[in-house]
Structure 1
């Protein structure tokens, strides 16, 4: 009996695909939306009235809609209108999109920092993001971010970001450490362009001022105790996105390449480049499991400087390691975790996870062989929990406990909003 149903479904599906060559879309209708505008959803959808009925285009539209912050789930229905004309209904389950965010992180060295803010991801019902945050990491910081990927058309948008970020940063040289008060004040503008369903690019400029002031620790005549310089940054981002979402579950892969060139107004500081590539792979395992992976490979100009750009940090790449414990001009990091749904009902989901974070860094001015030096390799593992509200965008409160797998390593808790990656 089951085989008969499968054969029946398969024959009807093939028939639908063949008939679609001659069938016409009478109208595309939106159902279930409340805050997000139907006109916006029709604007970004590829399927249009009077076009041929194409199931592949419909499927792509549904995946695109599910990627929107305002949409928790979407599906479609097709009904005959008259003759060979059909109405296509896109059914929307909305997310709540005015989201507070909170990040907390600490280690067994009693380091503690937090970031708190709020973001509206569906401003004016048009998938426009506007957010602010305040951060306390020894010093006060704040930022304002604006992102409208479909501001000018269904493929072209704009992002503008402003930040005044101040932290206490460790600087490493001569096997010693100094603490600096670091400030980065920047304004950034990016053009956002969607090439097609899976590919998009961003390109723009960033003007920023970096300010380092010595606070405590070791000193060296060759290491300045004060540094204030204006810089320009040119940025390009290319993303390939083949992810498919089903509430808390993700499948597929995604790749993001970020390239930057930085030039300084101070002739004493050389221009430099930095680039990194993030590769993500997600796979559903059974009915409740999700395997998630991220690999980042990054390199910058290999200057021998205590202010190297790639950091080893609790909240970025290695859970439990501490807040910026080392720096380098090259980095390879691999994060893998298994997420398992412990409880799932209506709007709430509880996930447990186990993870392994591993990374290695090239010393400033060093060689590629530094990446295989055991002193530069960090290996951590741990467990965590995810408390997920399925009807609020990115409403995932995470807590992870990571501990080093080699002798003498640290351990600690990492809190945050959203999945770690």
Structure 2
């Protein structure tokens, strides 16, 4: 009896070994890439020659490739060979040297714009390098470099420099003052991906803030001019389960951002700030896409006129104006339905119907401020998207938001890329 059991066990082991040998990956081929280096793509893939064929790993690799700025679309094929399986990864590349632009106006004749030029696949290694110029009453500029796979497929670095100058409203008890505001900053971030869906960024930002009074109300405890150096420690955690098919997106994404700012001036005290963006995308039929973003954030609740959360055209409420209010807490919901009107080989025309709504907590206030009608804003609107399917983020958007709440405005918001 023991001999029979031993023979059965040995036969079973040989069968399993033979089956495993037949299902190994004998060859991996990457095709379709011209600018992107083959080694750069292979470094990101989870399968290797000699591994047992795993369709789940391959599917994750394809999703990862489609998230890259350098890749417009990706697919795979599996071919049976005598000694195993040949796996072919095929990619369709994006053109990755592109301009960026954001333009926004309101019925108060406010006008501001930001233009830039970025290369998202420098040296064929998925390194992003670029800069921007902004005109928002005053001139500003910045330079950014991001190498998420600098050391491995999990670990990279990013560096950002900017000199940002704007006219900022400061909301006092007896009225509003306008300050010329300059922020010059140097930021270094470490980038790490735990796995396909989870990643973090940790870093430090050294910056200088310079406020110069221009016009409007004044207060004895608010200086007219001051210059302050600050140190900011930043942490970002992202969960990303999005799946892309050209202009269509489905899935869930969450991005949590936490910052601790150390100041050298009492008028701008140290503070904590954190917010989370929850984004959900759902395909509707063949041509529809529903997209929503919920932002919830809180900061140290100091009675400072320089509160960190702004109400702004280009950030959260389309049509509201350029930095019309500030708060130490924020709840904003953006939801929109995108419908493809035209889909050609390279060109897509997409319509957009949206509702942006949100509320803010006043500096030094309480959570009841979120329900105050003076802090609550709702802006429905419509828009169009003009897209190039072979150029990364080549989406020219135009939205018109019309306020329906108290003291509302209306206006156009132009930009490159989807609003969220």
- Which piece of structure 1 moves more, 267-276 or 398-407? 267-276
Shift of 1:268: 6.0
Which residue is 2:33 aligned to? 33
Shift of 1:198: 0.3
Q: Is the alpha carbon distance of 1:272 and 1:350 closer, same or farther for their aligned partners in structure 2, counting shifts above 3 Å?
A: same
Which residue is 1:69 aligned to? 69
> How far apart are the structure 2 equivalents of 1:139 and 1:107?
18
SS of aligned partner of 1:221: coil
Which residue is 1:360 aligned to? 359
With normalisation by structure 2, the TM-score equals: 0.94
Shift of 1:118: 0.2
1:204-215 residue pairs with structure 2 within 5 A? 204-215=203-214
With normalisation by structure 1, the TM-score equals: 0.94
Which residue is 1:11 aligned to? none
Detail structure 1 runs of 4+ shifted over 2 Å in the superposition. 19-22, 265-270
Q: Is the alpha carbon distance of 1:246 and 1:373 closer, same or farther for their aligned partners in structure 2, counting shifts above 3 Å?
A: same
Shift of 1:374: 1.0
Which residue is 1:10 aligned to? none
Which residue is 2:78 aligned to? 78
> How far apart are the structure 1 equivalents of 2:234 and 2:158?
13
> How far apart are the structure 2 equivalents of 1:49 and 1:385?
46
> How far apart are the structure 2 equivalents of 1:340 and 1:245?
16
Q: Is the alpha carbon distance of 1:43 and 1:367 closer, same or farther for their aligned partners in structure 2, counting shifts above 3 Å?
A: same
Which residue is 1:9 aligned to? none
> How far apart are the structure 2 equivalents of 1:98 and 1:41?
19
1:173-230 Cα deviation digits (max 9, x unpaired): 1151110000000000000000001000000000000011000011111111112100
- List runs of 5+ in structure 1 lacking aligned partners: 1-18
Which residue is 2:327 aligned to? 328
SS of aligned partner of 1:376: coil
Alpha-carbon contact 2:297-2:330 (below 8 Å) kept: yes
1:357-396 residue pairs with structure 2 within 5 A? 357-396=356-395
1:289-308 residue pairs with structure 2 within 5 A? 289-308=288-307
1:330-384 Cα deviation digits (max 9, x unpaired): 0000000000000001000000010000000000000010011111100010000
Q: Is the alpha carbon distance of 1:267 and 1:309 closer, same or farther for their aligned partners in structure 2, counting shifts above 3 Å?
A: closer
> How far apart are the structure 1 equivalents of 2:67 and 2:305?
40
Q: Is the alpha carbon distance of 1:22 and 1:333 closer, same or farther for their aligned partners in structure 2, counting shifts above 3 Å?
A: farther
1:31-67 Cα deviation digits (max 9, x unpaired): 1001001110001111111111000000000000000
Residue 46 (1) aligns with residue 46 (2): yes
Q: Is the alpha carbon distance of 1:196 and 1:22 closer, same or farther for their aligned partners in structure 2, counting shifts above 3 Å?
A: farther
Residue 59 (1) aligns with residue 59 (2): yes
Alpha-carbon contact 2:29-2:86 (below 8 Å) kept: yes
Alpha-carbon contact 1:20-1:54 (below 8 Å) kept: no
Alpha-carbon contact 1:234-1:260 (below 8 Å) kept: yes
Alpha-carbon contact 1:28-1:42 (below 8 Å) kept: no
Which residue is 2:16 aligned to? none
1:197-276 residue pairs with structure 2 within 5 A? 197-266=196-265, 269-276=268-275
1:247-290 Cα deviation digits (max 9, x unpaired): 00000000000000011233664311000000000000000000
Shift of 1:20: 7.6
SS of aligned partner of 1:320: coil
> How far apart are the structure 2 equivalents of 1:380 and 1:267?
37
Q: Is the alpha carbon distance of 1:96 and 1:161 closer, same or farther for their aligned partners in structure 2, counting shifts above 3 Å?
A: same
What do you get for the CA RMSD once the two structures are aligned?
A: 1.1
Which residue is 1:8 aligned to? none
- List runs of 5+ in structure 2 lacking aligned partners: 1-18
Q: Is the alpha carbon distance of 1:370 and 1:142 closer, same or farther for their aligned partners in structure 2, counting shifts above 3 Å?
A: same
Alpha-carbon contact 1:348-1:390 (below 8 Å) kept: yes
Which residue is 1:118 aligned to? 117
